[in-house]
Every structure is written in structure tokens, then in C-alpha cells.
Amino acid sequence: MAMTDERWGFLTNYPGRVFGDDDEHLDGLMDRAVAAGLPSIAISKGAGQLLGLLTSMTPGRLALELGTLGGYSGIWIARGLSPDGRLITIEASDSHADHAQSEFEAAGVGDKVEIVRGTALDVLPSLAQQLGPSSVDLVFIDAIKTEYVDYFDSVKDMVSCGGLVVADNVYGTGSGWIDEGGGTDDFNRHVANDPEFDATTVPVGGGMLIARRR
Ligand SMILES: C[S@@+](CC[C@H](N)C(=O)[O-])C[C@H]1O[C@@H](n2cnc3c(N)ncnc32)[C@H](O)[C@@H]1O
């Protein structure tokens, strides 16, 4: 039996049906974002569930996200944190950050989430100084795909032992897949060759890389 587009669509939605779907707030979040002019490029529901689960498998004291958009993935991360845990999420677009701020508040996680405005590569050096080494339990990378290697190099010392780096779209997007020269093959191999991390990729959404610091 071949993998068809129809089957792939069914499998993509399968985790939501079996393991719990979006709640009412998350369910309407991207419709509200698109109505406000944000692009429809959030992670899939299955990827959100995985991200929340992975966050909850760490101590969940501090998480860092690169690329906030409308707050969809950030809410999954925030819900996986420990009760006093917090998420710092970096967003280059003021309009995206404004929209996400209201979504974080409406979802009841506004007190756990701080949006830092600016481009990730500009913001990360001062954040690294402020937070210190081994201070972050989970980093989620979801901003500019061609900058993933630089993001990884900027955040890796901040990741705690046993902490995770997760990255989205590592197999590609609608504009190109890894077998066509799309995706983030350079980044995937860069992480694979880092002796401080164990890593793999999973076919969730556009492909997720999960790396754990030794
Ligand atoms: C794919 S979307 C993030 C989706 C979000 N993580 C989610 O799943 O709900 C990428 C976001 O990164 C932002 N962005 C683009 N360039 C950036 C940069 N250099 N630094 C930080 N954010 C950036 C975009 O404005 C956009 O909101």
C-alpha cells in the first residue's frame, strides 16, 4: 500500500484524534491570527502535542523559542512547563508579537511568557549573557530556516545537561523538501556531528529535529 497524500493527511491528524485535540482556545488561534493578517505557518497540532510532551519531560524551568508568530507553539510549550517555569520567545515582527501577547494572556499563560522583540541572532548574545550557561531546559527553533546553524551555535551552551533543542521544518516546507534541496540538511548534519548532543529527526509536520544535550 502506497503512501498517498490522503493517507499522509489522515496520519498527520491521527495524534490529535487519539491523544487529545486542541482545546477551544488553541483550536481558534490560527483562524484569529490569519484574520489579523498573520501568515498561516504555525506548527501542526501533532507537532504542538509533541512539543508540549517534550517540554513536560524536562524539568521545565526555562524554555526559549525562536519565532513566536501568533503564540500557537508557545502555548503548547508554556503548558508543558513546571508551575513556576517560564518561556522566553523571540519575535522579529512587532505585529506578530502584539498578537501573540494577547493570545498568551487569553490562554492563561501570560504570566509565564515573555516576548523579546528583535531578530534572534541580534538578541541571543545578550540573552546568553543574561541567562548564563546550562540554564535552559528546552529550545524550540522555528524562525529563519537558513539561520538554523547559527541559532544552534548561539543557544547550545545555554542548554542544560539533559535539556533539549527541538527544530521544526527540518525536512522542508511546501516550497521545497530535503530530497529536492529544501529543508535544513546542513543544520541536521551540523547537530548530528556535535559530540555534545544525541539527536534524531521525526516525521511530524514538516519534520522535527530533537537533540538532547549529554
Ligand atoms: C514559522 S513562524 C513561527 C511559528 C510559531 N513557532 C508557531 O508554530 O506558532 C516564524 C516566525 O519567526 C519570525 N521571524 C522571522 N525572522 C525572525 C528572526 N530573524 N528572529 C526571530 N523571529 C523571526 C516571523 O515573524 C514569524 O512570526
- Lining residues, ligand 1, CB within 6 Å: 41-43, 66-69, 72-73, 90-93, 96, 119-120, 142-144
Q: How far apart are CA 68 and CA 82, in angstroms?
A: 20
Residue 119 domain boundaries: 5-213
Distances (CA, A) of 47 to 2, 39, 53, 159: 24, 18, 10, 21
Q: How far apart are CA 139 and CA 165, in angstroms?
A: 5
Cβ 178 vs Cβ 207: under 8 Å: yes
What is the 3 CA–ligand 1 centroid distance (Å)? 31
Pocket test for ligand 1, best of 76, 99, 123, 142 (most atoms within 8 A of CB): 142
Q: Is the pLDDT of residue 170 over 80?
A: yes
Q: Which of 175, 125, 169 is nearest to 144 (CA)?
A: 169
List, for residues 147-164, the tens digit of each pLDDT value: 999 999 999 999 999 999
When divided into structural domains, the chain yields a total of 1
Q: How far apart are CA 138 and CA 81, in angstroms?
A: 10
**Residue count (the chain):** 214
Q: How far apart are CA 159 and CA 133, in angstroms?
A: 7
Q: Look at residue 18 in the predicted model and tell me its pLDDT.
A: 87
Q: Look at residue 176 in the predicted model and tell me its pLDDT.
A: 87
Query: What CATH number is attached to the domain comprising 96?
Result: 3.40.50.150
pLDDT band at 68 (very low <50, low <70, confident <90, very high): very high
pLDDT band at 23 (very low <50, low <70, confident <90, very high): confident
Q: Look at residue 22 in the predicted model and tell me its pLDDT.
A: 77
Cβ 70 vs Cβ 89: under 8 Å: no
Q: Look at 5-9, 59-63, 117-121, 167-171 and tell me which has the smallest mean pLDDT.
A: 5-9
Q: How far apart are CA 85 and CA 78, in angstroms?
A: 8
Q: Is the pLDDT of residue 19 over 90?
A: no
> Dihedral (C-alpha) 155, 190, 58, 173: value to the nearest 10 degrees?
100
H or E segment to which residue 202 belongs: strand 197-202
| Mean pLDDT on 154-181 | 94
What is the 194 CA–ligand 1 centroid distance (Å)? 25
% of the chain at pLDDT higher than 70: 100
Q: How far apart are CA 68 and CA 66, in angstroms?
A: 6
What is the 68 CA–ligand 1 centroid distance (Å)? 5
Relative to the CA of 42, which ligand 1 atom is closest?
A: 8
Give this prediction's pTM: 0.96
The more confidently predicted of residues 24 and 102 is 102
Q: Reading across the β-sheet that carries 197-202, which strands appear in turn?
A: 113-117, 86-91, 62-66, 136-141, 159-168, 208-213, 197-202
Q: How far apart are CA 62 and CA 55, in angstroms?
A: 10
pLDDT band at 187 (very low <50, low <70, confident <90, very high): very high
Q: How far apart are CA 69 and CA 40, in angstroms?
A: 9
List, for residues 91-109, the tens digit of each pLDDT value: 999 999 999 999 999 999 9
